């Protein structure tokens, strides 16, 4: 960077709600960025603990920090409120219980400038009890360092996160982007629209975000067995799929349905054993709506979850429960056996003659026998 050249201001929106134990680490990481031309907009979303006071303390000692106090309206509304107050040329979002690596915004800003992309997205590492591990599928999606339009890289739609991206503010406003409010999983509809709308987006292989995994049950991603959670998941999938279909590319739509929409279903399948009847009925209805006659047997899920998804679509609850209980108790990979149609998985208690062979079949790269 030449001396005297003005760095663009990166506005970082940090929504806050009852995270006093995590907030200082999050804010310290943002303020320690090597890209120092920052504006940090903290939105205290009606916190009932000391989070609001902590935010005010940071604002009192660092002029780059501003705090907006609001009544509690939820994550999407808090992010939107912060974006309304942000004034920088570039826009980022960071959750208040996570950490941003020191060079994250510098790396993404350089890639944006080099490529002219409407936004840049980078890889993510899970931060679990002091252990930091890059998500393997994120590493795959963000290699190599390059710029694309969506038909060149439709699998990137699986990177739905809000907080590993840097947007040109002009693009954000021009595309009418906003986070859905009053609903969980608001990241996916907004990021899907960003990918579909962008003339060009760029990726970097660098880990630009440390995602803290909380085990106290307070994270919304730990509440999948509730009706509200599953209803919101189907709603945001429906919104995202509508955006993709509106783009009009068969290639993008097929990739999205099989590899992106299906990608998180295994997290719900583990909740099947002992689930309430109404939750099961809602799960079946959603699987049939999105995958219908094609079924999840054609998806990019691992073999045992393709089988479970097929059973769910058929309404075969007892067998879906059997598969999930077997997986929970079984140590190591699910057994594989040869068959007339080729190698398949073998779950005790499942009659293969009653199952579509496609739901049991192994793909070449999955075969171990």
pLDDT digits (tens, 9 = 90+) for 29-60: 999 999 999 999 999 999 999 999 999 999 99
φ and ψ of 8, to 5 deg? -70, 145
Q: Where are the domains of the chain?
A: 10-218, 262-366
Q: What is the DSSP string of 279-346?
A: HHHHHHHHHHHHHGGG-GGGSSS-HHHHHHHHHHHTT-HHHHHHHHHHHHH--SSPPEE--TTS-EE-
pLDDT at 226: 92
Which two structure tokens, joined as six digits, stand for 72? 């509690």
Helices and strands in the chain, H and E counts: 14, 11
Whether the link from the prior residue into 344 is cis, omega within 30° of 0, is no
Q: Is 183 in contact with 232 (CB distance < 8 Å)?
A: yes
For the whole model, what pTM was predicted? 0.93
- Name, in order, each residue with C-beta under 8 angstroms of 133's C-beta and a sequence gap of 6 or more: 125, 126
Which two structure tokens, joined as six digits, stand for 349? 């208690």
Q: What share of the chain is helix, strand, coil (3-state, %, to 5)?
A: 45, 15, 35
pLDDT at 244: 98
pLDDT at 129: 75
- Residues with pLDDT less than 70, the chain: 1-5, 215-223
Q: Which CATH class is domain 10-218?
A: alpha beta
pLDDT at 1: 41
Which two structure tokens, joined as six digits, stand for 201? 């987006």
pLDDT at 5: 59
Question: CA separation (Å) from 314 to 84, 152, 340, 354?
Answer: 46, 35, 24, 11
Please state whether beta strands 90-93 and 10-16 pair in parallel, antiparallel, or not at all (unpaired). Answer: parallel
pLDDT at 7: 86
Q: Specify burial of residue 233 (Cβ count, 10 A radius: 0-12, 13-18, 19+).
A: buried
Please state whether beta strands 336-337 and 344-345 pair in parallel, antiparallel, or not at all (unpaired). Answer: antiparallel
C-alpha 156: how far from its chain's center?
11
Q: Specify burial of residue 340 (Cβ count, 10 A radius: 0-12, 13-18, 19+).
A: exposed
Task: Provide the percentage of residues in the chain whose pLDDT is more than 70.
Answer: 96
pLDDT at 13: 98
> Residue 305: which of 272, 338, 348 has the closest Cα?
272
pLDDT at 2: 44
**CA 271, 265, 334, 127 torsion-angle sign:** negative
């Amino acid at each position: 960077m030449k001396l005297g050249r003005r760095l663009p201001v990166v506005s970082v929106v940090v929504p806050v709600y009852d995270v006093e134990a995590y907030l200082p680490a999050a804010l310290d990481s943002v303020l320690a960025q090597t890209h120092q031309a920052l504006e940090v907009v903290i939105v205290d979303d009606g916190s009932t603990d000391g989070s609001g006071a902590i935010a005010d303390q940071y604002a009192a000692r660092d002029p780059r920090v501003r705090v907006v106090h609001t009544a509690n309206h939820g994550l999407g509304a808090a992010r939107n409120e912060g974006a309304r107050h942000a004034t920088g040329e570039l826009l980022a979002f960071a959750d208040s219980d996570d950490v941003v690596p020191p060079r994250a915004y510098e790396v993404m800003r350089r890639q944006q400038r080099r490529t002219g992309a409407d936004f840049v997205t980078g890889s993510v590492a899970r931060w679990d009890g002091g252990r930091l591990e890059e998500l393997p599928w994120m590493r795959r999606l963000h290699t190599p360092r390059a710029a694309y339009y969506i038909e060149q890289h439709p699998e990137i739609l699986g990177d739905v996160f809000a907080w590993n991206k840097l947007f040109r503010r002009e693009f954000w406003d021009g595309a009418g982007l906003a986070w859905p409010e009053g609903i969980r999983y608001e990241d996916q509809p907004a990021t899907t629209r960003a990918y579909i709308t962008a003339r060009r987006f760029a990726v970097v292989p660098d880990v630009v975000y440390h995602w803290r995994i909380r085990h106290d049950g307070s994270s919304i991603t730990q509440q999948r067995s509730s009706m509200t959670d599953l209803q919101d998941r189907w709603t945001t999938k429906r919104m995202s799929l509508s955006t993709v279909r509106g783009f009009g590319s068969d290639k993008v739509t097929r990739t999205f349905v099989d590899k992106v929409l299906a990608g998180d279903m295994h997290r719900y399948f583990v909740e099947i054993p002992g689930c309430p009847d109404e939750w099961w009925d809602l799960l079946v209805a959603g699987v049939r709506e999105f995958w219908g006659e094609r079924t999840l047997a054609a998806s990019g899920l691992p073999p045992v979850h393709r089988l479970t998804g097929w059973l769910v679509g058929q309404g075969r609850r007892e067998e879906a429960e059997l598969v999930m209980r077997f997986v929970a108790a079984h140590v190591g990979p699910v057994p594989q056996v040869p068959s007339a149609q080729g190698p398949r998985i073998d779950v005790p208690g499942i009659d293969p003659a009653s199952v579509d062979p496609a739901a049991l079949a192994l793909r070449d790269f999955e075969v171990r026998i």
